[in-house]
Structure 1
């Protein structure tokens, strides 16, 4: 009691912390005697001095005189013992052993499970976030890894390049093979390209198909393409890519390519159906149209000089941003165009028009390489048109053939552009695959064909249905998306063509499904064709299979 800071009257202060004292208390003026709270009896504490006191007599009294309370005491004592034991075990577990202390500071072996998991995650970090292998040599990254797991030793960049990258590639390739293991017809896009920072030529292959739920699936393969770009070399490389991914040639529905002769011949030599890229064809047509009118060519050149001035001068860019802020204009940067993308020239001019006031204020205080006249600003506002599929192509041709009072300054360009579009797309409207894809798109159907062509389209679709082995065969539909940013006049002409073309009268050679489908109105242009077929494949099962293809 003295060590615990307690006096001789300790039981009243839970001396010995015995639970039996819940039923007793020390007698007044007599520490050697305890009084029972239940029976007011006095019981000896078993000695004449404090060091001899005990609770044996108290427990015996409780057992003989108060059985119920004694049972409560025994139960409480047992629970207290268990609690004390658990507390001791917890304390022991918190305190690490010497072996545990050494283990917590010992480095992981390179082949340990934990080390390999961390290394794999670092490799995934580099792959997903386009990080260079040299990131593992950066001081900040090394500090971060040491802080997160001091026992882990970061491998060298060579290890990640030579060991980890092939491992993650094989894992992804296995997953891709599983995705490709389906019965859907597949279409591809392919192109030869090179990076701005590397002279290496690359041959890319994009595989696309639509699954049973009408969800578009896309996978990409790219490889270095060395040597001469002959049609034979391209054909062999394309075949090798199909073999690598174990794609049977019978599943190749079509390949979208550019207009280069070697690429077109390569597909012909491979006996694979191919289509020229609509965007590339349009690029050629627009270039011919724009270059035919000197005023437009000069305007584009002047715009490039203005944008280049701000691109190559941080001071000029800062001054323009300050002017934008003073005039409450959005702090946007001017866009530079790319020669091989006609729409990038449109976006360049659009960015200049948005900052017309700011540029005028800039030219009043600072020097510009060139300045645009009022007539050139007006001309620039007229220079925009777009199309990439048959319905929009027909709309574009009609738009270009119509004369308007606002055409002053661009008449020659419109005429040349119309001729170029007709030249570049002369075979598009008669292409078997393009026509069927257009008719089976619920946004267009047969609205963009004359009566004779409509009948041919119906017969083509019926022939495709008859080719089906069974309604459940997986096929693919070449989905073509329209642009959202179409001018008001373009949209009006599009609707004009849709409204003036009714549906051809039902013919005995047209199946019930085709007739039912074509009798319905087209869906709005902004809605998804895939969503339509996903919802209607139960009602039009065979037609839906052709649509997927």
Structure 2
């Protein structure tokens, strides 16, 4: 190799072996002219391309070219130009495929897309979420973080397709669940939405596998006049729509509205008055005293003063801190909830010192400071009503038996809670007497009283304990009669008497010219068969008396067992003892499913109020019915 007179400079930042035989002049700072160290020729090479350089060596300097190839071989292997292993190429292919799939939305027929869409639909229906939520940017971002490949459908899809499909599926399941229910009870009520659209609700309650089940069946748009005749027809249509037989309905619990009472009378349905509504009316009647009305007015004005002034709220908080009182806000009364009035009075009494301190500091509000007479009246009202506060809530549950509690509660009110004490004030005694007299009068209705007695009878905790002694025999007779009727319908006896082949043959005309049949030899089994025919005939004549005796014996055995503990679930008790008292258990299924209050219908309307909000005031009645049904039954 010839030595160049000038020492050439190698290419900057290059690792190729070719630059062992090529370089640049020291004065060529831009390194644009490549010079061969062997022959001093200038070679054209653009942008670091070394192909021309290797070709120059190959044509003019074969020996140097051979050396370059020897050096280039291991260098290429070291730099990774050799064939990649199969596992590496497979891994790269998998990563490329995964990256591609992550950016590809699910097909709308895929299981994953349907599962996520169903979950979103359930969320919207169960939690009463506006359907427009699916178009909100925050919700879309949430879903993209959870699953980037999921493409959420439009609002119209959920409104027109997903929600109706979920409703149809849920309704079909409910129909299958209630189609074989033998006994059920219902509640019904009327309600007007925020948009002044009237609705009629219907809830069902029944016992399945000794579990108390309840469901909201209808929240039907009811634009007709709310007369007893039209309401009665609407309720019949609702039952028919669900395939429910009126004969299987034990009772319907409603409020005391005159139109609702008339509707049930026209339908000849047994009606139970809502205990919560009755208690509310009893307390409202007892609060007609002028002293109570004045105290209620004073409390409402005080609460209003603090509710509409942020300064008064601030001063009240400071006063509570100074007087070491709990930091609590005042409570406003709701006219339809007597408990809210009691809560308002109790809170004013609890914060009376702080309230007085704030009101006295402002001459414009000094006249609102409760006087000592007002405080005495509030104390009297609190003492009369506080013990009653928990009864309405306790009897309004849907997951446990409540109907059999009504009789014991009335007894407890009479002998304990509403009994007059020496330390009671005159106002407290007056209110207690008024409440007890009203409840006693309203629950003296024979039909209602018998219904409550039957429910108490089949509750193993109470049985005849709270039934009037002069009525126990009559209630037991009614229970026997109902059981006999139920079992006769369930297991009817045939009046047709079986006839033997002998009597049939002898009734034929002997003059028909036919030879008499040859007498067959009787087998041993034929004697038992004849005996069975005779015994069946005898059993038919005595079946009714035997059934009655069996029912009487079973009912007597049930009543002779010790009463269950008061904390025992009566349905769990019957689940264990059904085998011992199979007939009486039918009555338990019939009566223990009745709700003591119409609270289930009220809850359905509360759900409707959470759905028909200001932002969703244009919902159609059919859509409201679907959304209430799904929210209550999913």
For 1:298, the equivalent position in structure 2 comes to 294
For 1:286, the equivalent position in structure 2 comes to 283
Q: What do residues 165-213 of structure 1 show as CA deviations (whole Å, max 9, x unaligned)?
A: 1111112111211221323311001111224x3312221111000113x
The alpha carbon displacement at 1:348 in A equals: 2.8
Q: How does 1:87-486 map to 2 (within 5 A)?
A: 87-88=87-88, 91-97=91-97, 102-108=100-106, 110=108, 113-195=111-193, 197-212=194-209, 214-221=210-217, 222-291=219-288, 293-324=289-320, 329-363=325-359, 365=361, 367=365, 370-374=368-372, 375-384=376-385, 385-386=387-388, 389-398=406-415, 400=418, 402=420, 404-427=422-445, 431-469=449-487
Does structure 1 retain, via aligned residues, the 8 Å contact 2:299–2:345? yes
Q: What do residues 333-366 of structure 1 show as CA deviations (whole Å, max 9, x unaligned)?
A: 3333322222332233333344445445544556
Q: Residues 370 and 364 of structure 1: is their aligned pair in 2 closer, same or farther, counting only changes over 3 Å?
A: closer
Q: Residues 166 and 85 of structure 1: is their aligned pair in 2 closer, same or farther, counting only changes over 3 Å?
A: same
The alpha carbon displacement at 1:228 in A equals: 0.7
The whole-number CA distance in structure 1 between the counterparts of 2:263 and 2:426 is 45
SS in 2 for 1:382: helix
Q: Residues 380 and 361 of structure 1: is their aligned pair in 2 closer, same or farther, counting only changes over 3 Å?
A: farther
More displaced, 407-416 or 260-269?
407-416
The whole-number CA distance in structure 2 between the counterparts of 1:430 and 1:180 is 26
Does structure 2 retain, via aligned residues, the 8 Å contact 1:334–1:352? yes
Does structure 1 retain, via aligned residues, the 8 Å contact 2:303–2:332? yes
For 1:538, the equivalent position in structure 2 comes to 579
Q: What do residues 288-334 of structure 1 show as CA deviations (whole Å, max 9, x unaligned)?
A: 2221x111122222223333334444454454445545655544433
SS in 2 for 1:205: strand
SS in 2 for 1:381: helix
For 2:523, the equivalent position in structure 1 comes to none
SS in 2 for 1:272: coil
SS in 1 for 2:302: helix
For 1:547, the equivalent position in structure 2 comes to 588
The whole-number CA distance in structure 2 between the counterparts of 1:156 and 1:514 is 62
Does structure 1 retain, via aligned residues, the 8 Å contact 2:342–2:382? no
The alpha carbon displacement at 1:216 in A equals: 0.5
For 1:16, the equivalent position in structure 2 comes to none
Does structure 2 retain, via aligned residues, the 8 Å contact 1:309–1:369? no
Q: What do residues 506-538 of structure 1 show as CA deviations (whole Å, max 9, x unaligned)?
A: xx9983333333344544444432233223223
Does structure 1 retain, via aligned residues, the 8 Å contact 2:420–2:429? no
SS in 2 for 1:191: strand
For 1:517, the equivalent position in structure 2 comes to 558
**Number of equivalenced pairs:** 429
Q: Residues 510 and 327 of structure 1: is their aligned pair in 2 closer, same or farther, counting only changes over 3 Å?
A: farther
The whole-number CA distance in structure 1 between the counterparts of 2:576 and 2:355 is 51
Does structure 2 retain, via aligned residues, the 8 Å contact 1:282–1:424? no
The alpha carbon displacement at 1:428 in A equals: 5.9
The whole-number CA distance in structure 2 between the counterparts of 1:132 and 1:141 is 12
Q: Residues 523 and 343 of structure 1: is their aligned pair in 2 closer, same or farther, counting only changes over 3 Å?
A: farther
The whole-number CA distance in structure 1 between the counterparts of 2:284 and 2:551 is 42
Q: Residues 329 and 90 of structure 1: is their aligned pair in 2 closer, same or farther, counting only changes over 3 Å?
A: farther
The alpha carbon displacement at 1:156 in A equals: 2.9
For 1:61, the equivalent position in structure 2 comes to none
The whole-number CA distance in structure 1 between the counterparts of 2:470 and 2:231 is 39
The alpha carbon displacement at 1:115 in A equals: 3.7
SS in 2 for 1:372: coil
SS in 1 for 2:180: coil
Asked which structure has the greater CA Rg, the reply is 2
Q: What do residues 415-461 of structure 1 show as CA deviations (whole Å, max 9, x unaligned)?
A: 33333223333316863222101222233322223322111122122
The whole-number CA distance in structure 2 between the counterparts of 1:421 and 1:462 is 30
Does structure 2 retain, via aligned residues, the 8 Å contact 1:471–1:541? no
Does structure 2 retain, via aligned residues, the 8 Å contact 1:306–1:369? no
Does structure 2 retain, via aligned residues, the 8 Å contact 1:209–1:216? yes
The whole-number CA distance in structure 1 between the counterparts of 2:360 and 2:291 is 25
Q: How does 1:5-16 map to 2 (within 5 A)?
A: none
Q: Residues 472 and 109 of structure 1: is their aligned pair in 2 closer, same or farther, counting only changes over 3 Å?
A: same
The whole-number CA distance in structure 1 between the counterparts of 2:124 and 2:439 is 45
Q: Residues 414 and 353 of structure 1: is their aligned pair in 2 closer, same or farther, counting only changes over 3 Å?
A: same
Does structure 2 retain, via aligned residues, the 8 Å contact 1:281–1:425? no
The whole-number CA distance in structure 2 between the counterparts of 1:111 and 1:369 is 72
